Amino acid sequence: MKQIPNTPALLLTSLLLLGLSGCATTTATETPTTRSIITSADSNTLITAARAEFAPPETLVATPEAEPATATAAAPAFSQSELNKQLWEAAQAGNAAAVSTLLEQGADANTATASGETALHAAVAAGALPAVRQLVSKGANVNAVTATGWTPLHHAARFGRADAANYLLKQGANPNAVTHGSPAKTPVQMALDQGDLRTARILGY
């Protein structure tokens, strides 16, 4: 004789199994969803962090330093009197280069001291023939006279500057000019006083 299954017990067991199965299914189904939600929420933050970590360093563009302004050495502007003073001193020193530069800057070739001694007198006394030439080329008076009557030719005779004497004569210097006072002397007589026959002969002795 067959036993009739206990229906209420079977029904209860089936319901329990269904409930457990449903819970398991729900849990299995919901877990990935939850994970998906977390990943989605943090994705922007993770991507931003990754980009920040692996982004190439900023390229620093070196700004070229401004070069210091080159100081232009401008020639100082001298007054006319200062230029003339420097010209006379350069002539006295026999500095032909300085004489040339100062003449180009506008110094007066006929500048003279209070006693009338010109830059040409000074250059002749120094025996600086190049400076003498430069001064004459700029208009220096070859017959300029000092307060005592000395011409550049007298200076050539007094200091034995034969070459300067020869040049001045060719430029029109007067060999017969006489000094003031007593006795008055010509350049020739002055050269003879110095025993300088070479210069005296150049002057017409």
pLDDT tens profile 22-31: 544 444 444 4
What's the mean pLDDT when you consider all of the chain? 79
pLDDT of residue 38: 42
Model pLDDT for residues 117-154, shown as the tens digit of each residue: 999 999 999 999 999 999 999 999 999 999 999 999 99
What is the distance between the alpha carbons of residues 163 and 34, in angstroms, rounded to a whole number? 118
| Residue at 118: amino acid letter | T
At residue 192, the pLDDT reads 96
**Considering all CA atoms of the chain, what is the largest pairwise distance in Å, rounded to the nearest integer?**
189
Structure confidence at residue 77 (pLDDT): 79
DSSP code per residue over 14-76: HHHHHHHHHHHHHHHHHHHHHHHHHHHHHHHHHHHHHHHHHSPPPPPPPPPPPPPPPPP-PPP
Out of 30-34, 114-118, 153-157, 196-200, pick the least confident: 30-34
* 112 DSSP 8-state letter: B
- Given a cut of 90, whether residue 199 has pLDDT beyond it is yes
Q: What is the pLDDT of residue 54?
A: 46
* Per-residue confidence band for 78, with pLDDT thresholds at 50, 70 and 90: confident
pLDDT at residue 46, rounded to an integer: 46
Provide the whole-model pTM.
0.64
Q: What pLDDT is attached to residue 39? A: 45
pLDDT tens digits along 156-189: 999 999 999 999 999 999 999 999 988 999 999 9
Q: Encode pLDDT of 36-70 as tens digits.
A: 444 444 545 544 544 555 455 554 455 555 555 54
Q: Number of C-alpha atoms within 13 angstroms, CB side, residue 160?
A: 6
Q: Quick count: other Cβ atoms within 10 Å of Cβ 134? A: 23
Topology given in CATH for the domain delimited by 80-202: 1.25.40
| Residue 32 predicted with pLDDT over 70 | no
List the chain domain ranges. Answer: 80-202
CA distance 119 to 145: 12
